[in-house]
Structure 1
C-alpha cells in the first residue's frame, strides 16, 4: 500500500496545545510529524479548514530531556472521532525562524 502524502511521517509522542477559541486552550498529544503536517489527539473536534494557533513541545534529537516550545499556526485538514478523543490532521506553518532547524532535524 502506498502513502500518497508528499512527506514521510515520523511517529512521535509530544505534548502540545491548541487554542480553540479566544481564551480557551486545550491540551493535545502530537502522534506523528512530517515536514508540513502533524496528526494530533485532543478532546475537542477541530473544525476542518479552520486555522488555529498552537504549540508543540519538541525534544532535541540528541537529548530528549531538552524540549523547546514551538509556537505555530496550523490549518485543520480533517478531524475524526477515535475512541473518546478526536484525531486531527493539521498542516502547520508560520514557525519562528529559530525553530526551523529543530523541526528539520526530525524530518530530515
Structure 2
C-alpha cells in the first residue's frame, strides 16, 4: 500500500504515560509514529486541542540492545475517538528535543529501509 500522507506513519508498539492533570499520570500505548506526531491508545479521555506532557519508552534502534530511552515531550491532541473501551488519540508534537527528534527520525529511516528490502 502506498502512503500518501505528508508525514508517513510507521507502526510501533511502545509503552507511554500521559499526564492528564496535577499528579494524574495514566498509562498509554503508542501505536504509530511520524515526523509530526503519534497515534496513541489510552483508556482515559483527553480534550481535542489541549496540550499534554508525555513520556514514551522508545527502544534502541539496535535490535540486539535491550536498552530503551525515556522520551519526554509535549503534544497537542488533534482528535480522540472512542473505540470500545479505548481512545484512539492523534497527537502532534509541540515540544520535542533535537536529540529525541533524531531518535524518531532514525526509527522512521530504519523502517523505511526495511520496507524497501521486502
Distance 2:20 2:97 in 1: 21
Which structure would you say has the larger Rg?
A: 2
Q: Which runs of 4+ in 1 moved over 4 A?
A: 1-4
Larger strand proportion of the pair:
1
TM-score (norm 2): 0.83
Match of 1:53 in 2: 53
Distance 1:10 1:98 in 2: 19
Aligned length: 108
Question: Any conservation in 2 of the 1:59–1:68 contact (CA below 8 Å)?
Answer: yes
Distance 1:4 1:22 in 2: 39
Structure 1, unmatched stretches of 5+, are none
Match of 2:21 in 1: 21
Structure 2, unmatched stretches of 5+, are 110-118
TM-score (norm 1): 0.91
What are the equivalent positions in structure 2 for 1:1-108 lying under 5 Å apart?
5-63=5-63, 65-108=66-109
Q: Secondary structure at the match of 2:38?
A: strand
Distance 1:2 1:22 in 2: 42
Larger helix proportion of the pair:
2
